[in-house]
Structure 1
């Protein structure tokens, strides 16, 4: 089966399922994992500006897209000629069924089950923790955070953090004043590349908050990535005690 993946985390998952560059024949420029293998795969544009002509020339058997990552009109154009699996991942349960679906499509059911079990085993270790109030920032100018209906929110909850914006939807804009309710503020490495200087800026306005740079892939890359984040999450939680 020849597959084009339009989603970075799903591209990673396909290779984790044992596929090679002969099967994964197309990817976006943001599909950067696994580093050594993915470089051999043809780039077909960005997640939101696909090269439709190039995709058609590759003639895939399956295209895997995502409702949030990709542009609806571009996906509808591709659906006229190709089988397109459109994913929509908002929580851990959705991720479970994503892996299960991939396992069935690729006839890799045992691998899918292995990853699902590993993910639940990792997150179960944090289930008894007292929830700490946090805010997770994904953008600057304006500051933007995550609401209850996002994958990031669910992962925060699973590892022992209470999102102070749990009553808001999707990716709301927030002010520094709004952040005062958080004991911990996480600045994500993506999509905005927060750095130490951004911690320093916020710390001046929020001296009581504990502010950390966090790996955006660990929180937002659904698929198999969570199965590799055990030590990362453990270290983060320990630093927040």
Structure 2
């Protein structure tokens, strides 16, 4: 089996579990460290000629990471594709198990078994927090309904105030975000790299939790350590000084 992955989290899952199966990955596939396979460009705009040249038996894609037109172009060229779309932690664990079995794994890898145990009873914030969860700025984009990251946070005791929004990724103005009566702002470091000096200043006086975007949004080996790591980061928010009254 020759596999090209256009999804960083799946790249890690396959490379760790089935060394030698992966024959290509995107420029953004940073894990596992030292991964030595041909690169095929970005996940949004891969070089399909490079993908075809690798003669894969299967290309891995994701509904959110990749474009439908690229999946269609690969399928039209006779290259089988497998498209993932987890929206909950249990869904991600099930998809990973099915994928690895289909690729030839004889048994469930240890990291996946560890992830199942870790998410069976994850640590939770007490009391629960109401949060807005920006994933981009300029313009502001936040987590809305039916997202994998939103389910991760819910299981850790964080209620996304946009969880019932009709859009999966709403684009509210900053004034609206500030007015949603959230007692926490969750700022991951990907896809936008929020930091202690780029993000909290937009929400003066509101605690801001800086999270590992990889552990919040990736579904692969990082799931095994995500509950403990994210819970620790949620418990250590930073707060920008409140704005002075005019």
In the alignment, what sits opposite 2:24? 26
> RMSD of the TM alignment (CA)?
1.9
Structure 1: tracts of 5 or more residues without a match: none
Q: Are positions 1:191 and 2:191 aligned together?
A: yes
Give the aligned length.
232
When the two structures are superposed, what TM-score results if normalisation uses the length of structure 2? 0.87
In the alignment, what sits opposite 2:83? 86
Q: Are positions 1:147 and 2:144 aligned together?
A: yes
1:196 counterpart SS class: coil
CA distance in 1 between counterparts of 2:39 and 2:97 reads: 26
Q: Are positions 1:66 and 2:62 aligned together?
A: yes
Provide Cα deviations, 1:107-129, integer angstroms capped at 9, x if missing partner. Answer: 325325x4444223223133685
CA distance in 1 between counterparts of 2:155 and 2:111 reads: 17
Change (3 A) 1:130 1:117: farther
When the two structures are superposed, what TM-score results if normalisation uses the length of structure 1? 0.88
Runs of 4+ in 1 over 4 A off after TM superposition: none
Structure 2: tracts of 5 or more residues without a match: 238-246
In the alignment, what sits opposite 1:167? 164
After TM superposition, list the pairs within 5 Å mapping 1:96-135 onto structure 2: 96-108=93-105, 110-112=107-109, 114-123=110-119, 124-126=121-123, 129-135=126-132
Query: 1:178 offset after TM fit, Å?
Result: 2.8
CA distance in 2 between counterparts of 1:220 and 1:176 reads: 23
